[in-house]
Structure 1
Amino acid sequence: MTTRRNFLQQAGLLTAGILIAPSCMVAKADTKNIGIQLYTLREELPKDAKGVIGKVAQAGYREVETFGYSDEWGFFGMKPKEFAELLKQHNLTAPSGHFGLDPYIAGENEDMLKSYIDAAKAVDMKYIIAPYLGQQLRQSASDYQRVAERLSKAGEACKAAGLQMAYHNHDFEFQQMDNTTGYDILLSETDPELVKFELDLYWVVRAGLDPVELFKKNPGRYELWHVKDMDKANQKLNTEVGSGSINYKQIFDNAKMAGVKHYVVEQENFAMDPFQSIAQSYTYVKDNLL
């Protein structure tokens, strides 16, 4: 099965959780913003990308988050304008995308970010998200300081283009180094206006941390969440939201403190039909968490 890391490597990108937070004016969040990270359907997309997008809309989602864009491959084999038109046909939007930024972060490809900005604007995105850091970029605290510097520079370029830079975590960022963590460095050494964070709640819990404590320490920094549940028997596996061990009701009760604007459902493995799975997660989020 394709993993995120393997996919990014294959695409040449390593080497070369969706809703507006409830306000005091409304009793219930607007479900039109529930989204899905399309990496969830990475096995199905190469077979019939247009059909997959249609099934995502049928499941109830109104937003998608992309992954794996390149100038050669586009968005799942489609040029940005073609992909944007497909989304429009299904009453979908793509406010955010995961773009492989390792070469840019390493200082090897300054033009890469511009190509991503152009593609994002063509699809009317708001967020360009760094989804992963290769091991060579995160060996020390000073490495993370360099990452923060490059993310800040990317944030300036995104802001100038009317976009927002953001960073998506796994669990390695929370490992201790020099009495701190890589994640703390990224938070403290980036401007909150230039770099937002997409908090992957599964990876936070898997790292042994409490997402609500992160909200308290860094209010307003987490404009996007990845919402995927942890299998009760094996924490290395995902399951449908509401069927696992993560206390999502407590997390969602504190959504306003986090500053969240988009909840992006994601799942990386299945024990049922993937399209049945994503519909089940959507329904649980809509009916039980918002």
Structure 2
Amino acid sequence: MQHSRRKFLKQAGLGVSAAFLSPYLFSCEPGKTGSGPFHNLGIQLFSLRDLLAEDPTKTLEMVGKIGYRHVETFGVDAAAGSYWNLPIAELKKVLADNGLKTHSGHYDMSKYLSRTQNDKENIEKYIEIAHELGQSYIVAPVTPMDDLNNLKVEDYQYAAEQLNKAGEMAKKAGIKVGYHNHFWEFRSFGNGTKGLDILLAFTEPDLVDFELDLFWIEKAGYTPQSYFEKYPGRFTMWHIKDMDKQFTKPVVGEEYDKAGFMDIIKEIKYTEVGTGAIDFINIANYADKSGLKYAFVEQDDIYIPNKFESIKKSYDYVQKFLAK
């Protein structure tokens, strides 16, 4: 799939080099002056994964030109100590050269969080990499993916214990562990308790924070505000991701809780921040209540040909309407 997308970009003449020549993008202006998380906006680099695979240096240069202040990493090759074939030291230099920092990274912990896997990921190595990059957070981006439709209370309790253990290890390096949600953590168990509630209840606040994906909680049929009220201070990171107005039907509930993953994906479509169905202006009023420190634009799939144009639209919306 990634290969076919890269092939399309090249055929359309809209790879990294072509995007640099776009007059639209040369009109980039710096964001508003301020110290808040919306002024100092970040981006989850998964949004640009195809372009990073093609040319990580030019891609990060463009991210900085648009006005983003920091990036959230993904996809580390822990054994090689590199991202997108860039050694950690070189990545640090590229970020610094473009006025970018990295406060958080997504690190695969799916085996580490699984009750059934004995071959766990190397959390100590993740901590080492995060420390070298100057990151404050190591985020588990997903639950164990083996059998999402049969996750039990015990699975979430085990995952919470593992997050606490990772948090203890990370604390020695001045780093905190985080957890990022999707939709299935909002499926209800017999007593109405949800997976995310279990993770919140069984993790230690001084060891584990949460990164709320605003798209996924709304796609599950719940509001971010309700969780900020129920668990104040626990959501120090947000993924600001918008929902296509034609695809607002929740994918949690009797109709979907045992459905195949591919059937659910048919009900999901993303769009640039501010052009979709999510009321970010209201949600932003809860930033203090949530404990927000870092906000990241993310769009899992970008449908317009020029991905830089897409992330600039999202950036511009946040600067205009959320960065007060």
CA RMSD of aligned residues (A): 1.8
**TM-score of the two chains, using structure 2 as the length reference:** 0.79
8 Å Cα contact 2:177/2:208 also seen in 1: yes
- Determine the C-alpha separation between the residues in 2 that align with 1:275 and 1:65: 16
Distance in 1 separating the partners of 2:99 and 2:319: 18
Query: Residue 77 of structure 1: which of 66, 85, 94 is its match?
Result: 85
Matched, 1:88 2:120: no
Task: Encode CA deviations 1:34-62: one digit per residue, 9 max, x unaligned.
Answer: 00000000111111011100011111101
Aligned to 1:55: 62
> With structure 1 as the length reference, what TM-score do the two structures score?
0.88
Give the fraction of aligned pairs with identical amino acids, expressed as a percent.
39
- State the shift of 1:234 in Å: 2.2
Q: For residue 131 of structure 2, what is the amino acid of its counterpart?
A: K
1:218 and 2:251 are equivalent in the alignment? no
The alignment covers a number of residue pairs equal to 267
For residues 155 and 37 of structure 2, the distance between their equivalents in structure 1, rounded to whole angstroms, comes to 40
State how far apart, in whole Å, the 2-side matches of 1:29 and 1:187 are: 25
SS in 1 for 2:129: helix
Helix, strand or coil at the partner of 2:179:
strand
What do residues 210-252 of structure 1 show as CA deviations (whole Å, max 9, x unaligned)?
A: 1101000000000000001000112411111110000000000
Q: For structure 1, which runs of at least 5 residues remain unmatched after alignment?
A: 3-25
Aligned to 2:310: 277
Q: How far does residue 274 in structure 1 lie from its aligned partner after superposition?
A: 0.6
The answer (yes or no) to whether the contact 2:37–2:295 under 8 Å persists in 1 is: no
1:227 aligns with 2:240: yes
- Cα deviation 1:159-208 (Å, max 9, x = unaligned): 11110100000000010113111111000000111110000000000000
Q: Give yes or no for contact 1:32–1:61 (8 Å, CA) kept in 2.
A: no
In 2, the alpha carbon distance for the partners of 1:268 and 1:135 equals 18
Task: Please state if 1:154 is matched with 2:166.
Answer: yes
The unaligned stretches of length 5 or more in structure 2 are 3-32, 249-267
CA contact (8 A) 1:141 1:178 kept: no
Q: Which has the higher contact order (CA 8 A, sep 6+)?
A: 1
The alpha carbon displacement at 1:134 in A equals 2.4
Q: 1:258 maps to what in 2? A: 290
Aligned to 1:35: 42
- Worse-superposed segment, 109-118 or 280-289: 109-118
Distance 2:241 2:39 in 1: 19
Structure 2 counterpart of 1:160, one-letter code: K
**Judging changes above 3 Å, is the alpha-carbon distance between structure 1 residues 174 and 90 closer, same or farther for their aligned structure 2 residues?**
same
Corresponding residue of 2:130: 120
* Residue 213 (structure 2) aligned to one of 200, 213, 216: 200
**Does the alignment pair 1:97 with 2:129?**
no
In structure 1, the partner of 2:52 is 45
Contact 2:113-2:144 at 8 Å conserved across structures:
no
